Amino acid sequence: MFKSLAGILSNDLAIDLGTANTLVYARNKGLVCSEPSVVAVASDSRGRGERVLAVGSEAKAMLGRTPSGIRAVRPIKDGVIADFEVTEAMLRYFIQKAHNRSKLVRPRMVICVPPEITSVEKRAVRESALSAGAREVFLIEEPMAAAIGAGLDVTAPTGNMVVDVGGGTTDVAVISLSGIVTSSSIRCGGDKMDEAIIQYVRRKYNVLIGERTAEEVKISIGTASPHGKTQTMEIKGRDLVAGIPKTVMATSEEIHEALVEPIGAIVESVHMTLEKTPPELAADIVDRGIGLVGGGSLLRDLDVVLRDRTGLPIMRSDDPFTAVVYGAGKALDDLELLREVSFE
């Protein structure tokens, strides 16, 4: 009785549980939450484990700035759960935020996961969602959700190719008849780009910068192509020789040089998937092109580089950052489609 009442009172949710950001779509409300996948936890002085201090944007502001008793954690690593308890606390926070802090809710949930996820990792996602308060959990592969979100007809017998460049992973998939025909998932995305920038600045300038600074550099002057207008940016960090704060000027050409390796890995992943694609579906892809989604695809000229390297038309989604969660939301609104595209 209580469960059915809680079900009536709650809005069903679609969640894109990303390495860098978590987006939540509520049925009849649209996108209700888009926050970084970061949780700040404090060690209990009495030895009773840890308590959650902040989640999302508030916790991200603490990254790299916490004292010894507090740590800012990213519980999703490379698209899968790395810290079960912290993920559960984060999901509970997002569920309550979507329902205006109400605790009397048991929503049905659709959660997006990478296509090459193991059965153990699937169980971890399902169990943390159930522990956080879901009454029923459906898992849907991120490229499938991205294709639905980009407005492609995934149920038709035609080939659609989607490249989803996320924070932890890049997922490439060919979709036909509500299923993934062939796919590849590499642990290379926005985070690897940030790491590459950190290493480059360290090598070239002997300056150590943090993750947040590297991300700001990538967003401001990062580019996948060496051609284009040169931009410059001040980067602040710690001088590794003198040990004092230092400011250096970096150009977009330098940042492109830093990003050559991760971009090469993404292009290689697209090539590998195309090589495994059946010829009839490959013919469809020549006509229809490749859909590009995910926050990482916002990197300047990434679509241009992919077009040059594959010779195929590249269509970047209107809002690549939210395509996956909106696709999961569309599946949530259409139960028949949801049962076709979700998996156990």
pLDDT for res 10: 60
- Note whether 24 and 164 are same-domain residues: no
Residue 133 lies in a domain: yes
Residue 264 lies in a domain: no
- Note whether 32 and 110 are same-domain residues: yes
Mean of pLDDT values over 95-110:
78
Give the span between the Cα atoms of 57 and 54, in whole angstroms: 8
Residue 152 lies in a domain: no
Residue 234 lies in a domain: yes
- Note whether 104 and 30 are same-domain residues: yes
Give the span between the Cα atoms of 333 and 145, in whole angstroms: 13
The yes-or-no verdict on residue 26 having pLDDT over 80 is yes
Residue 7 lies in a domain: yes
- Sign for the pseudo-dihedral over CA of 59, 63, 67, 68: positive
pLDDT in tens, 285-342: 999 999 999 999 999 999 999 999 999 999 998 899 999 999 999 999 888 888 888 8
pLDDT for res 251: 94
User: How many domains are there within the chain?
Assistant: 4
pLDDT for res 204: 94
Strand partners, 293: 164
- Note whether 255 and 222 are same-domain residues: yes
Domain that holds residue 86: 2-36+78-144+324-341
Confidence of residue 1 (pLDDT cuts 50, 70, 90): very low
Q: Which residue has the higher pLDDT, 230 or 199?
A: 199
- Note whether 92 and 20 are same-domain residues: yes
Residue 153 lies in a domain: no
CATH number at residue 178: 3.30.420.40
Residue 293 lies in a domain: yes
pLDDT for res 238: 95
pLDDT for res 49: 67
Q: What percent of the chain has pLDDT over 70?
A: 94
CATH number at residue 225: 3.90.640.10
Residue 283 lies in a domain: yes
- Note whether 90 and 27 are same-domain residues: yes
Tokens of 208: 């150590």
Asked if 320 and 293 touch (Cβ cutoff 8 Å), the reply is yes
What letter represents residue 195's amino acid? E
Neighbours of 78 (CB within 10 A): 18
- Note whether 84 and 200 are same-domain residues: no
- Note whether 88 and 222 are same-domain residues: no
- Note whether 248 and 172 are same-domain residues: no
**Single pTM value for the model:** 0.90
